[in-house]
Amino acid sequence: MTVPLSVLDLSPLVAGGGAGDALRRTLDLARHAEQAGYARYWVAEHHLTAGVASSQPALLLGQIAAATSHIRLGSGAVQTGYLTPLAIVEQFGLLDALYPGRFDLGLGRSAQKRTETPREPVPVAGAHVVDGLLIPEPFSFAPLLASARSKLFASLLGGAGTGFREVLDQIQALLAGPIRDAEGNEAHAVPGEGADLQIWLLGSSGGESAQIAGARGLPFAANYHVAPASVLEAVSAYRNAFQPGVLPAPRVMVSADVVVAADDETARQLASPYAAWVHSIRTGRGAIPFPAPAEDLYESWTDDDRALVADRTATQFVGSPATVAAKLRTLQRVTGADELLITTITYDHADRVRSYELLAKKWYG
């Protein structure tokens, strides 16, 4: 059985382009993805980043819904530390009221207090291959989170600091509604209460997000494209924690960075700026507008520069439709994914659209 493919879009800016251009390209890509047979179209949430325009998922999803007819839409993911549960429910409830039954509410733990259930520490392993799938050496985000830039951004974003479990409790309660106090007073989220939303939790490790998704019987999306070293830990923790709830059985989606072209060499050329783009994130500058392919892009790089992005470049699936489809089948087989979430960035919009179209044609045959 062929598992479904879905899209994760960051609305990336490219060198020389603006946010308006990036957002219009998102609307165009969503229309093409729907025509090509992708199951879902999710948009990310990033803030204070020069190279990414998807800062407000609900606003962007409303525009995408108006430009499409049936593809399922969602957030990948709402960063729950920056909005109240009520605001999240009202935003997505409004979308559901206008376009019923089309939305996934993907939630992430960004800016939340860490209140994880104690778990056995996972041994840190170097890069290794599991049944054909590369699991690279783990990357530590600690220096980035401790940087002065990160502290400045935290002060501007004003994270609520509430525990993720409590936020999810409130979101689910508001959707079920009404909420009543001890004296019988009622509060209704309108729109929002009774909305036909599918909640997904997203995570990059076997920590709190995976455990909560499993314990509540929710679907879970594991981020191989962000943290490839811990994808197997994440899906294992989710499945081990799973109890029937919203779902009767586990449902896992796994993400991957992909660039497809007519042949391997052309795809490698289109993907060549990717290392520079990841480097801008890993050094704490934030994602830059995606550069155009250039022969001198890496002339001044040191071994340390290359090592900083090695796990991401080694796990980006680049090549012809047959090459990339084979790698995605390995990812699906090793993780047991029920669905794959594809994210693709190229400098030229036509190349990005073509990448998704070529992959879908090969995948669905």
pLDDT of residue 13: 98
Q: What is the tens place of the pLDDT at every residue in 181-227? A: 888 888 999 999 999 999 999 999 999 999 999 999 999 999 999 99
Q: Identify the weakest region by mean pLDDT among 183-187, 204-208, 280-284, 318-322.
A: 183-187
What is the value of pTM for the model shown? 0.92
Q: Identify the CA nearest to 84 among candidates 174, 183, 12, 206.
A: 174
Q: Identify the CA nearest to 97 among candidates 187, 192, 188.
A: 192
The pair of three-digit structure tokens given for residue 149, joined into one six-digit string: 């830039």
Tell me: pLDDT of 116 over 70. no
Instruction: Return the CATH number at 74.
Output: 3.20.20.30
Tell me: pLDDT of 364 over 90. yes
258 or 138, higher pLDDT: 258
Domain range for 83: 5-364
Using left for φ > 0, alpha for ψ between -120 and 50, and beta otherwise, residue 161 falls in: left
Q: Identify the CA nearest to 253 among candidates 82, 6, 2.
A: 6
Strands 103-108 and 72-75: parallel
Q: Identify the weakest region by mean pLDDT among 145-154, 220-229, 254-263, 342-351.
A: 145-154
Strands 103-108 and 78-79: parallel
Q: What is the tens place of the pLDDT at every residue in 138-175? A: 887 777 767 776 665 555 555 555 789 999 999 999 99
Distance (Å, whole) CA 173 – CA 176 = 5
Please provide residue 360's backbone torsions phi and psi, each rounded to the nearest 5 degrees.
-60, -40
* Continuous segment of H or E residues that includes residue 355: helix 349-364
Average pLDDT over residues 109-125: 57
pLDDT of residue 5: 98
Domain count, the chain: 1
